[in-house]
Every structure is written in structure tokens, then in C-alpha cells.
Chain A
Amino acid sequence: AQKITQTQPGMFVQEKEAVTLDCTYDTSDQSYGLFWYKQPSSGEMIFLIYQGSYDEQNATEGRYSLNFQKARKSANLVISASQLGDSAMYFCAMREGQAAGNKLTFGGGTRVLVKP
């Protein structure tokens, strides 16, 4: 089974509007972390936001917020007030367990195109 599923391959969003990117995950661990990264065409992965499995409140970082629904195993990213510079690929990723050396497992990504 896929560990991280992003069901939206691509999305258009109007400038200044909000957009929600879906992410569902699969793990049997109690301890895990969920990450969102932005990848512009240059290739670098830029960290956006983190949510830990024990965090009771949804994470927020500026215009980015994470809608964490633990029972549904979903961690959707919300980008508010979209800007043209938000056009990029967005990846949801997870680290599992307490042991050291936990790799990041990525989803297939969602391409966002912001229209002026």
C-alpha cells in the first residue's frame, strides 16, 4: 500500500484565493511526522510546514496551514492568498517511528499553477 497518497496531480488556483492540497498517509506507528515541501522548477525542495503525530493543534507557518485529521489519516495543506510565486510542485512526506535513521517517504506530488 502507498504510504503517502496525493490524489490531485494538478490544480489551477486564482491569485489571492486559497487552495487546499490533499494528502493521506498510512502508518501503524504512533510516532510520526508529516512534512510539506515545495519544489519550484529549479529543483530544490523547500520545507514549508511540519505536523507531529502528537501535536494537538494544527500547524501554521505564515500563509501555510496544515489541516491535520489524525483519525482519517489526512494532512492537507492550505495555502491562503495565493501568489504567482506559489506555482510549483508540492510534496507531502512522512517520517515514521522513534528509531533513528527514519527516511522521508514522499507522495507523488501536486502541481499548482497560480493564475493572475
Chain B
Amino acid sequence: DAGVTQSPTHLIKTRGQQVTLRCSPKSGHDTVSWYQQALGQGPQFIFQYYEEEERQRGNFPDRFSGHQFPNYSSELNVNALLLGDSALYLCASSFGSTFNTEAFFGQGTRLTVV
């Protein structure tokens, strides 16, 4: 049973460009959340998708957008990249999302903006 898979694992982009990160959830999971982890810090919640809709959003600008497909996989898009967007982007999947729901994480995509 494959866990959460993310692609690509590493990415280098130029300031101002756009990037798309992808996530396939663990089998049986219907909810996907995205987190940004800057170097030396804890992950920060970006947004969560359920039934192809954004259900909750953290304190991130509109440059960050996402999508969830009918097969529950998800994409994170970041437009007009800034140097400060350099981080590890983590995808987490779960079956539903209440206070006692365990989230499974992928290995992350390390984005470097130059």
C-alpha cells in the first residue's frame, strides 16, 4: 500500500515564475492538506481540500492556489514566486479531518527560488 507520494522531490525556480507541486494521497484517504516548512521552523498550514473544494485556508496570499481531482490527488500552485517561497512543501492526507484524525505525510518537495 503506497503512502503519500509527492512530486517532484526537488525543484529550482527563478523569482517571478510559477510552480506546480503534486500529491497523491494514501489509498482510501479523501482529504489533502498542504503545509509550507521554512528552514528551521515548524510546518505552516496552507490549505485543505475535500471533495474537490478548498475547505480551510491558512494565512497565505492568493498567489497560493490548489486543486483536488476526482481521484483525490491534489496540486499546489504558486504564482509570481518570491525568494521567501523557498521551503519544503509537505502534503498530508487523511480520511476526513476532525480533531482525532491522524494525518500521513509525504516526503515533501523542496523548492528553491533563486
Contacts and interface: CB of A to CB of B under 8 A. Distances in A.
A100 B110 contact: no
Contacts, number: 83
Interface of B: 33, 35, 41-45, 48, 50, 55-56, 58, 88, 90, 92, 96-108, 110
A106 B96 CA distance: 19
A101 B48 contact: yes
A111 to B, nearest CB: 9
Nearest to B104: A47
B45 A104 contact: yes
Interface of A: 4, 29, 31-33, 35, 37, 42-47, 50, 52-53, 91, 93, 95-109
Contacts of A107: 42
Given A35-B103, A44-B107, A91-B43, 6 more contacts: A47-B102, A50-B102, A95-B97, A102-B98, A103-B48, A106-B42
